[in-house]
Amino acid sequence: MKTKILVTGSLGQIGSELVPTLRESYGADQVVASDIRMMSREQLLRSDGPFDFLDCTNQRQIQDVVQRHEIKTIYHLVALLSAVGESKPQVAWDVNLGSLYRVLEVARVNGCGIFVPSSIGAFGPSTPRDHTPQDTIQRPTTMYGVTKVAGELLSDYYCHRFGVDIRGVRYPGIISYGAPPGGGTTDYAVEIFYEAIRHQQYTCFLKPNTRLDMMYMPDAVKAAIGVMEAAPERLVHRNSFNVTGMNFTPTELAAEITKHIPAFKIDYRVDPVRQAIADSWPMSLDDSAARQEWEWNPRYDLAAMVRDMLENVEKKLAVEEVNNDAY
Ligand SMILES: NC(=O)c1ccc[n+]([C@@H]2O[C@H](COP(=O)([O-])OP(=O)(O)OC[C@H]3O[C@@H](n4cnc5c(N)ncnc54)[C@H](O)[C@@H]3O)[C@@H](O)[C@H]2O)c1
């Protein structure tokens, strides 16, 4: 991969874990983190490389950062996620597509490669829901999904028309214990761990049998870097590869947690907006194209993910408690 690297939206759920991994591989000073938010005191203390304030709906600002740091690769992570997007569809359009268009333009002018993540949200109710193929019907019914399909098409256009090296994956729901999730339909699969440890009880906003694809964060980071480092001559699809790590229902996730916390109980208060979004998404993705074209291979299944999440959320909550006591 060409360095130097810019990560946009780097303080979000994925960026806050992708940046340290990229810095380990390529060197801290080679990776410029950026976001429209400023870093918290805690993030500042942990950060070991450059950070720029950057609003990706402002093309002049992107151009300035890319030129000043001589950026050659951009991981563009800026987006409003599915549930937030449904509450503010006009803003979701402006942020998701407005930022992508401007980043693509700057990449075209400056010869940068780009990673652009799409989502299972790019599919809709008319998509086959089981083993959803790589190339299939994409008629999403959410603004988030509309921006993701349009983003996939725009990325293809810039790749074919201008030769910009754009690559990407369609992420399922991402589970992690670092930065909190940014308002997606699969956030329950993160919240449940905090509530299981704190209160041995969780009220889920999706129905018990809602099956969705998911992935643990180390695999999400591995997928982003894996597709960017893939040999270009082997890539048939380039953009929007289906990738997945596991799929489960809230009932199955709760049962796995109960193996570690026997007192844990789950109940349900369904949020109709997020349930409708979940019902329009695939239950399992066929990720064979990614496996064939760049050896995609996830490490974590449900049991391994639950074990690791419980261990790390417990440590995180213990540290927070000590810090709270200190004030
Ligand atoms: N997290 C998931 O479960 C998931 C699943 C599928 C796809 N994705 C995709 O992965 C990407 C990253 O997702 P995430 O979960 O890290 O999102 P997130 O919401 O946690 O983070 C997004 C970041 O973008 C920043 N941002 C918002 N508007 C901005 C702007 N105008 N300029 C600069 N920064 C801005 C936010 O401050 C935030 O830090 C997105 O494209 C998302 O659609 C995520």
Residue 109: per-residue pLDDT = 98
Residue whose CA is at the smallest distance from ligand 1 atom 20? 12
DSSP lists the bridge partners of residue 8 as: 76
Ligand 1 center to 239 CA (angstroms): 18
Residues 34-71: pLDDT tens digits?
A: 999 998 888 888 888 999 999 999 999 999 999 999 99
Residue 322: per-residue pLDDT = 81
Q: Which two tokens stand for residue 270?
A: 């369904």
- What are the phi and psi torsion angles at 132 (to 5°)? -50, 120
- What are the phi and psi torsion angles at 5 (to 5°)? -115, 140
**Residues ≥6 apart with Cβ < 8 Å to 191:** 202
Contact 147, 93 (CB under 8 A): yes
Average pLDDT, whole number, for the chain? Answer: 95
Residues 272-302: pLDDT tens digits?
A: 999 999 999 999 999 999 999 999 999 999 9
Return the active site residues.
Answer: 144
Residue in the structure block whose two tokens are 């997606």:
184
How far is the CA of 98 from the CAs of 38, 72, 224, 254, in angstroms? 21, 21, 22, 39
Cα torsion 306, 312, 317, 319 to 10°: value is: 170
Answer yes or no: is the C-beta of 37 below 6 A from any ligand 1 atom.
Answer: yes
Residue 326: per-residue pLDDT = 61
Does the pTM of the predicted model rise above 0.75? yes
Q: Which atom of ligand 1 is nearest to the CA of 78?
A: 24
Q: Which among 79, 81, 84 is positioned nearest to 96, based on CA atoms?
A: 79
Ligand 1 center to 263 CA (angstroms): 35
207 cis-preceded (ω within 30 degrees of 0) = no
Rounded Cα–Cα distance for residues 23 and 30 (Å)? 7
Residues 137-183: pLDDT tens digits?
A: 999 999 999 999 999 999 999 999 999 999 999 999 999 999 888 88
3-class SS string, 13-53: CCHHHHHHHHHHHHCHHHEEEEECCCCCHHHHHHCCCCEEE
Residue whose CA is at the smallest distance from ligand 1 atom 2? 174
Ligand 1 center to 15 CA (angstroms): 8
Q: Which among 75, 120, 80, 79 is positioned nearest to 221, based on CA atoms?
A: 75
Ligand 1 center to 86 CA (angstroms): 15
Q: Which two tokens stand for residue 231?
A: 């040999």
Q: In which region does residue 112 sit, left (phi positive, over 0), alpha (psi from -120 to 50) or beta (all else)?
A: beta
Answer yes or no: is the C-beta of 79 below 6 A from any ligand 1 atom.
Answer: yes
The amino acid at residue 253 is L
